[in-house]
Structure 1
Amino acid sequence: MIPHKMKRLHYALAAFSLAASMSASAQDYPSKLIKIIVPFGAGGVADLTVRLVAQKMAESMKQPIIVENRPGAGGIVAADSVAKATPDGYTLLLISNGTAVSANLFKKLPYDTLKDFAPISTLGYFDLAVLVNKKLPVKTVAELIAYAKASPGKLSIGSINRGSTQNLAVELFTSMADIDALIVPYKGTPEVLTATTTGEINAAVEILGPALPQIKSGNFNAIAVTSSKRFVGLPNVPTVAESGLPNYQATSWNGLAAPARTPQPVIDRLNKEINAAVSSPELKARLLELGIVAQGGTPDGTRNLLAGDIAKWGAVIAKAKIDKQ
């Protein structure tokens, strides 16, 4: 046989053998521990969400699921480790709108955000809220915009580090409202909430979950949420879009993805388990306490959500002239 034909036959047989092996593995899935890599530190909203969902999934799949936190470098370390993992469904990645932001904030990534991952499902969505110091003479988004326009550059709005979801939500707000405001960066959410309470800043756009206890205790006022629908836990607080800035929306979300080329039967099984977990009334109630609306989805829907956020936040980053790292 001609050497190049033998080589082609060898590759074909190897590919067939690999496909057959993966198919057999998919039928037995899961047969061992599953690991979920989280690109954030322990104790945050994303971490708590995935741990609660993973616990439900583990009970149903009768296999242990562990959560490993690998924060740092805008989520690149965690994502790269999963992109290079064996595509067998035993190493998964927590993805989010932050994954989309990172695709725009870095000049070069060691992976392709859309090509190197197989999105499985969303886990839940969590709002951000527009918070104002109690002494600020505004009760609505329309009044906040009017206040800013009356004194350009005087309104101070806090958020965490430049390029974060909160920061981009503020950038989108000031851009759509066409206002000149001072955006003040802080190290973390606790510092933002404290500064809003004390009046160090006039307002803030922050993740709703950590702010809920202080909103309910009256430390500051929540004048709007940033999603397309009102948060069920604060039914009297309107959305930004319905209270002064039509078409504004900035929603955070979490989901799970596997390495690209993970067998479709494995993706389908994981999607089924995730949707069953987040449909549990008990889990829905627990996540709602954290400011999270539990909601699953399809692999294609999750991919479209990620791709849409890459385009949306890329435009915001470009308009805000945030330098790529």
Structure 2
Amino acid sequence: MHDDVATFRSRRTILRTAAVLIGAAATSGLGLRRAQAAGYPERPIKIIVPFAPAGPTDIMARILATHLGEALSGTVVVENRPGAGGNIGIGIAAHAEPDGYTLLITSSAYVVNPGLYAKIPYDPFKDFAPIAELGTSPNVILVNPQLSVSSIADLTARARKNPNELNYASPGIGTTPHLSGELFKVVCGINMTHVPFSGAGPAIQAILSGTTQVAFAALPPAHPHIESGALKALAITGTHRWFDLPDVPTMVELGYKDFISDTFQGFLAPSKTPPAIVELVSVKSIGILKTPKVSEQLRNDGFEVLANGPDGMRKRIEDEVPKWRDIIAKAGIRPV
């Protein structure tokens, strides 16, 4: 009996000691993570945007960068590295030093490109640590008012009557606006020539100048030109009408079932960036997006704020890479 009691006490002592050690290890790990972020940032943080200025991703990045610099008591700058449908900038970010001083804000191109290109300079699942799912915006079908087209029905009739006349601008090959344009041609049974640009900004300038008659673009860069009357919006590809564009119908309303596509913006860091830094930037970014001032500004610019953390961004990547591979294959688009 005495031996059993002694054994029990001995085991209890071992368990207590183990619990103390585990707790100490956890506390030590937390302290290490905090120490990794202590003093950060000590120099300017660079956010790479893999598209030209004035597009939706650039707009989101610049709004967030301004407030993030204030929140971190540091300097945050945006660097545009456009080209190859976003692959150039994403590749640069993927292979940057994982120290928290080079980050990436990208669009849906991040999940589309693996299905669109035979070879890309990044692994969408392994090369980045998700920081946050920032926002999304519907795509919009635009015409230059000089085209004298006032509806989707007018546009399709014009394209059928003059099959080689119309061309349309997009922010680049493989962007969701480009894929929306190709889908539009298929479901409407028309032909238009695709003219890709290095981002939404140049694509919008092309239709404003009359270089192209039509454009497919995310709503944010087009929004001020729609409001001013410089561009005519025929339809949006979201699930509902936009709150301050009540006269612009959705494609679904017009009878094009399941014609829904959007452009999201996601925040990522090179993999192996210290977890404490990823967590810090994530918490600060989500807090910024949720402030009434910023969320209202983004909404007025054409974004729906998501403000989801790393898990939300990770799930979007896991869901949308195979989804877009499947859509691209079904559309008969061969990887380039």
Per the TM superposition, whether the score is higher than 0.5 is yes
**Could you list the per-position Cα deviations for residues 37-71 of structure 1 after superposition, in whole angstroms to 9, with x for gaps in the alignment?**
22223443322321221221222222332333333
Please give the alpha-carbon distance, in whole angstroms, between the structure 2 residues aligned to 1:21 and 1:103.
39
1:252 Cα deviation after fit: 0.9
Q: Report the alpha carbon displacement of residue 126 of structure 1 after superposing the two structures with TM.
A: 2.5
Name the stretch that deviates more: 127-136 or 150-159: 150-159
1:27 partner amino acid: R
The answer to whether structure 1 residue 179 and structure 2 residue 186 are counterparts is no
Counterpart contact for 1:128–1:250, Cα < 8 Å: yes
Structure 2 match to 1:166? 177
Alignment of 1:93 onto 2:99:
no
Superposed, 1:113-262 pairs within 5 Å as 113-134=124-145, 139-141=150-152, 144=155, 147=157, 151=161, 153=163, 156-160=166-170, 161-175=172-186, 177-187=187-197, 193=204, 203-262=214-273
CA contact (8 A) 1:22 1:88 kept: no
CA distances 1:242-281 after superposition (whole Å, capped 9, x unpaired): 2221211111121111223445444333222111111122
Q: Contact (CA 8 Å) 2:252, 2:260: kept in 1 or not?
A: yes
Cα deviation code 1:6-39 (max 9, x no counterpart): xxxxxxxxxxxxx999865520315233332222
- Where does structure 2 lack aligned partners over 5 or more consecutive residues? 1-25
In structure 2, the partner of 1:13 is: none
- Measured in 2, the distance between the counterparts of 1:42 and 1:196 equals 16
Say which one has the larger Rg: 2
Match of 2:33 in 1: 26
Shift of 1:293: 3.0
Measured in 1, the distance between the counterparts of 2:32 and 2:93 equals: 19
- Cα distance in 1 for residues equivalent to 2:121 and 2:268: 17
Does structure 2 retain, via aligned residues, the 8 Å contact 1:97–1:306?
no
Identity of aligned pairs, percent? 33
Q: When the two structures are aligned, how many residues end up with a matched partner?
A: 305
**Shift in CA distance, 212/31, structure 1 to aligned 2, threshold 3 Å:** same
| Structure 2 partner of 1:7 | none
Q: CA deviation at 1:154?
A: 6.0
Separation of aligned partners in 2, 1:92 and 1:52? 15
Contact 2:85 2:175 in 1 (8 A): no
Q: What's the Cα RMSD here? A: 3.4
- Post-superposition offset of 1:193: 4.9
For 2:267 and 2:201, how far apart are their aligned partners in 1?
Answer: 27
Give the 3 Å change call, closer, same or farther, for CA 96–187 of structure 1 in structure 2: closer
Matches of 1:98 and 1:54 in 2, distance apart? 21
- Per the TM alignment, residue 239 of structure 1 is displaced from its structure 2 partner at its CA by 1.7
The answer to whether the 8 Å contact 1:30/1:61 transfers is no
Which 10-residue stretch deviates more, 182-191 or 203-212?
Answer: 182-191
Shift of 1:230: 2.3
Is the 2:137–2:302 contact (alpha carbons within 8 Å) kept by the matching residues of 1? Answer: yes
Q: Which amino acid aligns with 2:130?
A: P
Match of 2:312 among 279, 283, 301: 301
For the 8 Å contact 1:130–1:205, the answer to whether it is kept is yes
Judge conservation of contact 2:94–2:127 (CA < 8 Å) in 1. Answer: yes
Alpha carbons 1:140, 1:243 under 8 Å: kept: no
Structure-1 separation of matches of 2:126 and 2:167: 37
- 1:115 corresponds to which letter in structure 2? K
Give the distance between the partners of 2:109 and 2:91, measured in 1 at CA: 15
One-letter identity of the residue aligned with 1:290: D
* Change over 3 Å in CA distance of 1:30–1:228 after alignment to 2: farther
User: Whole-Å Cα distance in 1 between the matches of residues 205 and 96 of structure 2?
Assistant: 41
Question: SS of the residue aligned with 1:41?
Answer: coil
Offset at residue 314 of structure 1 (A): 2.5
- What is the match of residue 9 of structure 1? none
For 1:296 and 1:65, the matched residues in 2 are separated by: 19
Question: How far, CA to CA, are the matches of 1:124 and 1:54 in structure 2?
Answer: 15
CA distance, structure 2, for counterparts of residue 172 and residue 89 of structure 1: 39
Contact preservation (8 Å) 2:169, 2:214:
no
Change (3 A) 1:315 1:40: same
- TM-score normalised to structure 1 length: 0.78
2:49 maps to amino acid: V
Match of 2:293 among 282, 293, 296: 282
Given that residues 85 and 174 in structure 2 are in contact (C-alpha distance below 8 angstroms), is that contact kept between their aligned partners in structure 1? no
